[in-house]
Amino acid sequence: MNTVTRNRLHDYFELTKPRVVSLIAFTAIVGMLLAVPGLPPLDKFFFGLAGIWLAAASAAALNHLIDRRADAEMHRTRNRPLPTGHVNERQALVFALSLGVMSMSMLWFLVNPLTAVLTFFSLIGYAVIYTVFLKRATPQNIVIGGAAGAAPPVLGWAAITGTVSAEPLLLFLIVFVWTPPHFWALAIHRRDDYARVNIPMLPVTHGIAFTRVQIILYTILLVIVSVLPYLIGMSGLLYLAGALVLGGIFLYYAIAMRFKDDERLPMKTFGYSITYLLGIFTFLLVDHYVRLFLAA
């Protein structure tokens, strides 16, 4: 494979927002594994994960396409494939639609129609409703639009069971409440970028001090919501202990960001928020299998 081909493949790969999609895939995997005792059917697991990943990648590529002009003006995004001209608009559109078609076909015919339908609405929710409308319409954009990003655990659960119940909806709720403090920490750090392209993120419209208070409130709510899997018997004490420790650290960062004059704290909080989500879903998974082992 020559250098030009490798660079082109890298550009297309970057259109999928690999770090974001990897986090989405992880939460979907946890949803799949929590859905059944033991291991899920391998065919449903493989094709379900592949279909969900392809849909998330398609939505990410459409987001790149729709936001290409704003991305060109923002420091954080100006080196993306479309602003740099490494991929043109037609190529990005064909790539995104191809991924979407493969995803829907795989989920509908090889997994189950429910997962295909839910994944389709999640894709449209992020790529169209959030990116086209909400992102530029309201400072609550990430709160409302966060529903699409919170769907993967539900999609994973549905892929294995063909149903949706209270347990995956709690996983959805955790990610949904986690999204605002996660993203607003980044938005504080990148406030000037968003102001430059007239995107009404909360720090731009209501100021940094107000946003910091909202981050604290949402983090408190997140800690409360994270206890619910234990309260309904979905998880045990191992998960509860992990959730409280992880939540306590998140709350420390949120409070520190409010009262300490340290420009590094927003990005530290943003970075920890990713660790938090990975950690809490890992505790869910480990607790699940430890309880199965002890009950055997």
Average pLDDT for the chain: 95
pLDDT tens profile 56-109: 999 999 999 999 999 999 988 999 999 999 999 999 999 999 999 999 999 999
* Per-residue confidence (pLDDT) for residue 2, from 0 to 100: 66
Please determine, for residue 180, whether its predicted confidence score (pLDDT) is greater than 70. Answer: yes
Tokens of 139: 């400072």
Distances (CA, A) of 37 to 44, 142, 286: 15, 34, 13
CA 216 – CA 180 distance, rounded (Å): 10
282 in Cβ contact with 28 (< 8 Å): no
* Per-residue confidence (pLDDT) for residue 195, from 0 to 100: 93
For a pLDDT cut of 90, what percent of the chain falls above it? Answer: 89
pLDDT tens profile 205-248: 999 999 999 999 999 999 999 999 999 999 999 999 999 999 99
Residue 179, classified by CB atoms within 10 Å of its CB into exposed (0-12), middle (13-18) or buried (19+), is buried
> Can you give 58-97 as a three-state secondary structure string?
HHHHHHHHHCHHHHHHCCCCCCCHHHHCCCCHHHHHHHHH
Distances (CA, A) of 29 to 122, 195, 204: 17, 36, 35
194 in Cβ contact with 203 (< 8 Å): yes
**In sequence order, which residues have a C-beta less than 8 Å from that of residue 74 and are 6 or more positions away?**
190, 193, 194, 196, 197
- Rounded to two decimals, the pTM is 0.96
Beta strands in the chain (DSSP E): none
User: Alpha carbon 118 to chain centroid distance?
Assistant: 16
Please determine, for residue 14, whether its predicted confidence score (pLDDT) is greater than 70. Answer: yes
Query: What is the domain partition of the chain in residue ranges?
Result: 1-162, 165-296
Please determine, for residue 113, whether its predicted confidence score (pLDDT) is greater than 80. Answer: yes
1-162: CATH number: 1.10.357.140
**In sequence order, which residues have a C-beta less than 8 Å from that of residue 135 and are 6 or more positions away?**
141, 145, 199
Please determine, for residue 261, whether its predicted confidence score (pLDDT) is greater than 90. Answer: no
pLDDT band (50, 70, 90) for residue 1: low
User: Alpha carbon 41 to chain centroid distance?
Assistant: 25
